[in-house]
Chains A and B, each alone.
Chain A
């Protein structure tokens, strides 16, 4: 669902979608959001790179670690594009986790591990990353340069 929002001196667009717990739909969901963000004036490189990476990683984490691949659960995505940038919230139906308890995948003893880079990339590419108290919702902010 795409809803134009009007605030004081600003025109924003909000994109909401409910994603099933299915890794094969991540790409389609990210493409859908990126297309609407581009149409809403997000700079092309931000939509093509930063948004794609942070949203795809957040969705994959929500599906794999949050919902634990349970097909009865879903992931809610809400993206707002405004004059100052973009805010993306990804909420799963899992028990949540402690985001301060995630090791750095670039440490020498973790460099050859196959997993554990998703949240790291989100933190590197988003301008701001927040979690709710439960740890099942991530909020990522991309500011316009």
Chain B
């Protein structure tokens, strides 16, 4: 009789232990990821259009070092950052570097007029459904994401950067590849 009790007790303890080992314990809340958390991940790409209406996407720039810049014309820090982005683009374009300005949620005409007025020459993409903004976990505008030649995120940056900060971010990636 005692043996039966021991066996039954052992079964219960074993089942409890296995279940606890396989998945028990308190469940932690999920972590909200910002752009900085994307380092090393494949860079998301969506088919959108350029400000002139031609189709374009990040994937088309595979093989180049790309600084994705999420922006909007109403965003003051985005406007302040634009001249530095243009200088960076011109300085490194010959090394296989491109700045991809992806306007978030505005009409193509608004973005194109603004870029033309500021003498911007790098490609401006129109993301009217704000897909890039969500995929890159943007917590504000501007948000910049550096993508290497293999299409992986090197670093995600929330907020405005100076030209010096951009150089510090981009130069090692251009040199290493």
Do chains A and B interact in one complex? no
The interface of chain A, by Cβ under 8 A from chain B, is none
